Amino acid sequence: MLLIGLTGSIATGKSTTATLLTSPPYSLPLIDADILARKAVEPGTWGYRRIVSTFGASTPDLLLPASDPQCQNLENGPTGHGRPLNRPALGRRVFGNSEEKARDRKKLNSIVHPAVRFYMLRAVLYHYIRGSSAVVLDIPLLFESGLDIFCSTAIVVAVSDPKIQMQRLRERDPHLSAEDAENRVKSQTDVREKAKRAEMRGEGRGFVLWNDGGRGDLEVQLREVMKEIQGRSPRWWGWLLLVCPPLMGTVVGWELLLTWWKRRQAMKERGQELPKAKL
């Protein structure tokens, strides 16, 4: 089964690309790390309890107020296990460039990411058993987490002009102030750096979709990329791997080794350290 890693930065068009990949003519199953992250912090979960105990005392508005529509007529929120997290408040707590915010963001990631990894692995196994020829892993922190090593192919959706990114973010989330929007963009790895990391993977293993234009241009680029990806991994090969687990294990091991080696060599050439963040 082919694992296609999809990433980008906020307001660059990653979600639009994910929608295109899950629709005809591709109709690929999608594993969305953001959705899994929400699932990992639902009221009653281990992640929810850890976040409340870690940030609750110093963040008075961490939980939605009892008057919120999601909490009305329910004693402890929709699930009966507590009021849901107030995501904008939590975002203000962890997004930004200060040392304190970076420290808080690291704490939050250490709570959410292990649960996301577990849910992701379970979803991949599910699609493998169902005989899917390819699965898209929508992971915002694909390179930062090092999870790109598990992907046969990585696709980065990027913009060359930072002003376009800021404009799209403000249009998409009008409730964000200019400062909040800027903090969210700066708290992520520059999307142009992600594009370079995709290109470092080598021919056929890393692609960049430059989404400075409209949706039509993005669709054309994606069509060319998927044509090349599917040409390198025909459907009969996917079925052969499915019915022969030992061969699958050998191929996966080789892919992991090759991706790790290429990344290591590329980062050395650029004089950079390998990513240390975990997801």
For 215-242, the pLDDT digits (tens) are: 999 999 999 999 999 887 776 666 676 6
Mean pLDDT of 274-278: 45
Per the model's pLDDT, the better-predicted residue between 1 and 222 turns out to be: 222
Q: Is residue 2 within 8 Å of 135, Cβ to Cβ?
A: yes
Q: How confident is the model at residue 278 (pLDDT cuts 50, 70, 90)?
A: very low
CA 164 to chain centre: 21
Closest C-alpha to 137, from 4, 8, 278, 277? 4
State if pTM tops 0.85.
Answer: no
Residue 92 has pLDDT above 50, yes or no: yes
Identify the H or E element spanning 4: strand 2-8
Residue 170 has pLDDT above 80, yes or no: yes
Residue 89: is it exposed, middle or buried by C-beta count within 10 angstroms (0-12/13-18/19+)? middle
pLDDT in tens, 194-207: 999 999 888 889 99
By mean pLDDT, which of 52-61, 157-166, 252-261 is the weakest? Answer: 252-261
Q: How confident is the model at residue 271 (pLDDT cuts 50, 70, 90)?
A: low
Mean pLDDT of 107-134: 90
pLDDT of residue 69: 78
Looking at the domain covering 1-29+134-266, what would its CATH class be? alpha beta
pLDDT in tens, 21-42: 999 999 999 999 999 999 999 9
Residue 277 has pLDDT above 60, yes or no: no
For the ranges 46-50, 130-134, 245-249, the maximum mean pLDDT occurs at: 46-50
Mean pLDDT of 4-23: 96
pLDDT of residue 72: 62
Mean pLDDT of 10-15: 94
- CATH 3.40.50.300 residue ranges of the chain are 1-29+134-266
Residue 177: is it exposed, middle or buried by C-beta count within 10 angstroms (0-12/13-18/19+)? exposed
Give the C-alpha separation, 155 to 74, whole Å.
43
Average pLDDT across the chain, whole number: 85
Q: Is residue 70 within 8 Å of 77, Cβ to Cβ?
A: yes
